Amino acid sequence: MRLSGLGLALALVLCGCGTQPPAAVVSASPVAVVPPAPLPVDNLKQARALASRGDWRAAASFAREALKTKLNESDALEARGILLETSLRIGDYRGARELLAAVTPEESEGLARQQLLLARQALDGGKYPDAILRARTVQEIEPAAHEVLARAYLATNQTELALAELKHVPGSGPQMQLLREEVADRARGRSVELAGRQLSLAQLQAEHGQWGQAAVAARKAGAMFERMGGHKGERALAAFIEAQEAASRGEFKAAARLTSQAVELDPRAEYKTKLTFYQEKDRLLVSRDEIVDVEGFQFPPTIEEGAARDTLYLLGSTPDDPVVGGRELFYDVKKTRFSGSGDAMVNLKTEGPGRDYWNLVFTGPGRADLKPGLYDRAGSEDPDAAALDISGCERGAGHSIGKFQVYEVVYGPKHELQRFAADFVVSADGHKPFFGKVRYHSRYR
């Protein structure tokens, strides 16, 4: 049986085969005899010997010299095999690929078969990094290298990479089917573990009030569990954490939607209670997409509860609005001073942080005293109609129309304003309307 390539080199070295150096020539002549020039094959033998001792760089040097001479097919393959092995031993992965690309297709296939054999031996010996390196080097030439890679990646818990390699493995015999099932099971287990870690991270961040980060982690965990199917309890918890983050931003509509998803997956009492709470909160609030026009706008319900408060809330629907400018503004007594008066009209003033200030004037029809109820067509050209004027922060409008809902208005003995609560929607100078809520010493929300 004839050995060829790198296998022949290693076999000859291990057997101790090789030429002995020529004996010294003794001559009576005073002229020294020049020893014969080394034969071309001597370079290959030196490369083989150095490779057997692990001196790969030196072996590669002799192999290159050998390739400069005329070698038969078997010796040329052996020399290139030593060069390829040197590149892999010293971590020159690019050099190994370039070498395979530079030789003839026949030589490339021969070298690839050698490396595939060594990769399988490394895999059987538990030398997984070595098996991966060799198999990756020749995977484009030897399709069977993908199976070696899949098994090596599986052994090193790189299940995603193992799955990717199995897509390129031909055949569907019993052994391959077992391998595919093992990789799939391991991948599912790994995915569950990673998703569980994400969900635990989200819970921890939520406990510390880090809602933005908690929502990101919960969203990732929920998506991972959904891809795997099942895991309803985990998906419900992920949705509930996202809902709590939305509620922390005052987005109760989104909070209610996410909590509803959680209830569908896991109808526990905690989720149901929060869903009712978020739905009630959403019922009391207004979103920008609800502020379309004055006439069709419906004021949200309100309730009377808690301690009296002074607040002003403004929500603009579009940036071109000359008064609010599409912004969302909120003022309370923590940073804002409120004052009010009432004499045929209600005057409210705020002086807030950053020199923010707002003036609000509510007037009843025919300058009559305001009473709880709805005042529509406010600001119309009719002098007997109700009116509403809002300006502040050096912003205002020359002409505005709107409507407002008064929930509470209480005057003192001298007709001074004691309590006031109203919601309003106003279109300034023909622009899309903005919405507002004002509470002055009022328990209305």
In tens, the pLDDT along 81-116 reads 999 989 888 888 888 888 888 888 888 898 989 889
Q: Which amino acid is at 440?
A: Y
9 and 51 in contact (C-beta within 8 Å)? Answer: yes
Give the number of residues written for the chain.
445
What is the chain's mean pLDDT, rounded?
83
> What band does 16 get if pLDDT is binned at 50, 70 and 90?
very low
The predicted structure's pLDDT at residue 343: 66
* Range of weakest confidence among 131-145, 213-227, 336-350: 336-350
The predicted structure's pLDDT at residue 157: 81
Q: Determine the distance from the C-alpha atom of residue 199 to the mean position of all C-alpha atoms in its chain, rounded to a whole number.
A: 14
> What band does 70 get if pLDDT is binned at 50, 70 and 90?
confident
For residue 75 the two structure tokens come to: 């010796």
With 90 as the cut, is the pLDDT of residue 438 above it? yes
The predicted structure's pLDDT at residue 166: 79
Global pTM? Answer: 0.46
More confident residue, 331 or 181: 331
- Distance (Å, whole) CA 60 – CA 38: 18
CB count in 10 Å sphere of residue 23? 6
Task: Identify the residue whose tokens are 């099932």.
Answer: 181
More confident residue, 189 or 247: 247
Q: Determine the distance from the C-alpha atom of residue 396 to the mean position of all C-alpha atoms in its chain, rounded to a whole number.
A: 43
With 90 as the cut, is the pLDDT of residue 267 above it? yes
- Distance (Å, whole) CA 33 – CA 116: 49
With 60 as the cut, is the pLDDT of residue 15 above it? no
Task: Identify the residue whose tokens are 């990769």.
Answer: 119
> What band does 427 get if pLDDT is binned at 50, 70 and 90?
very high
419 and 383 in contact (C-beta within 8 Å)? Answer: no
Three-class SS state of 359: strand
Residue range 353-381: average pLDDT? 86
* Range of weakest confidence among 187-191, 232-236, 331-335, 407-411: 187-191
The predicted structure's pLDDT at residue 121: 92
With 70 as the cut, is the pLDDT of residue 37 above it? no
Residue range 43-50: average pLDDT? 90
**373-378 β-sheet, strand order:** 328-332, 304-316, 434-444, 417-428, 400-411, 373-378
Query: In a 10 Å sphere around its CB, with 0-12 CB exposed, 13-18 middle and 19+ buried, how is residue 318 labelled?
Result: middle
More confident residue, 29 or 384: 384
- Distance (Å, whole) CA 440 – CA 406: 12
With 90 as the cut, is the pLDDT of residue 263 above it? yes
pLDDT digits (tens, 9 = 90+) for 110-156: 898 988 999 999 989 999 998 898 988 888 888 888 888 988 888 88
CA atoms within a 13 Å half-sphere pointing along the CA-CB vector of 103:
24
Residue range 4-32: average pLDDT? 42
93-102 vs 128-138: helix crossing angle, rounded to 10: 30
The contacts of residue 228 (CB under 8 Å, 6+ apart) are 188, 191, 192, 195
* Beta-bridge partners for 387: 363
Residue range 177-192: average pLDDT? 71
> What band does 36 get if pLDDT is binned at 50, 70 and 90?
low
The percentage of the chain sitting over the pLDDT mark of 90, rounded to a whole number, equals 26
pLDDT digits (tens, 9 = 90+) for 370-418: 899 999 888 766 778 898 888 888 888 778 889 999 999 998 888 889 9
